């Protein structure tokens, strides 16, 4: 039998997160000046990022959410993306900003951009709080990126480990230690 323990190491502080989110909002506001922007948050991980981002936007906005799953109960993507909760409204002819917590393999965003483009939005852009380099399986154009990070498993600011740690105000790298327990 194995017992897993872990340690959290702060990777991105609350202040650094807030400053970067405000900076991204300023850039997005400039890029869509005079336009209406429809934000789609990918649940569950992106909701805190999206909430902070929208408070800084100086635009007319509307919101919707979509829930997808590719992780099941594991820490690694299964590679199969399924929609758990679809959009409530049509995005035809709207400027859409898809909000993601972390882009690793690109499989989820590839799947969603293909699905959303079929609805003929006026434009479709992607904002991802985090982007892991070296893990991509699909080429994805991220229009707005908060931070590039190394291959860490991360929690906090909406990101979780087994539905825990979403409430942490910073991003933490998780360091796991597995120990064998004698029978």
Sheet containing strand 171-180, strands side by side? 2-12, 171-180, 154-155
Angle at CA of residue 79, ends 81 and 110, nearest 5°: 60
H-assigned helices in the chain: 14-31, 47-56, 107-117
35 is catalytic: no
Sheet containing strand 36-43, strands side by side? 82-85, 60-69, 36-43, 95-103, 123-132, 144-149
CA dihedral 47, 100, 95, 15 (to 10 degrees): 70
Q: Which of 15, 104, 148, 150 is catalytic?
A: 104
Q: Which residues pair with 98 in a beta bridge?
A: 40, 126
Q: Which residues pair with 100 in a beta bridge?
A: 128
Looking at the annotation, which residues are catalytic? 104
């Amino acid at each position: 039998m194995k017992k897993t323990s872990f340690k959290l190491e702060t990777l991105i502080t609350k202040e650094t997160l807030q400053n970067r989110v405000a900076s991204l909002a300023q850039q997005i506001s400039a890029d869509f000046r005079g336009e209406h922007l429809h934000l789609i948050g990918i649940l569950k991980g992106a909701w805190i990022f999206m909430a902070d981002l929208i408070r800084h936007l100086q635009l007319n906005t509307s919101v919707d959410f979509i829930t997808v799953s590719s992780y099941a109960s594991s820490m690694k993507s299964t590679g199969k993306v399924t929609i758990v909760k679809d959009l409530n409204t049509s995005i035809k002819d709207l400027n859409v900003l898809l909000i993601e917590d972390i882009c690793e393999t690109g499989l989820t965003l590839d799947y969603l951009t293909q699905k959303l483009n079929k609805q003929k939005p006026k434009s479709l852009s992607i904002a991802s709080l985090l982007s892991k380099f070296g893990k991509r399986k699909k080429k994805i154009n991220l229009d707005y990126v908060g931070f590039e990070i190394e291959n860490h498993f991360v929690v906090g600011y909406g990101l979780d480990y087994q539905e825990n740690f979403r409430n942490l105000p910073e991003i933490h790298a998780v360091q796991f230690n597995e120990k064998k327990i004698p029978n």
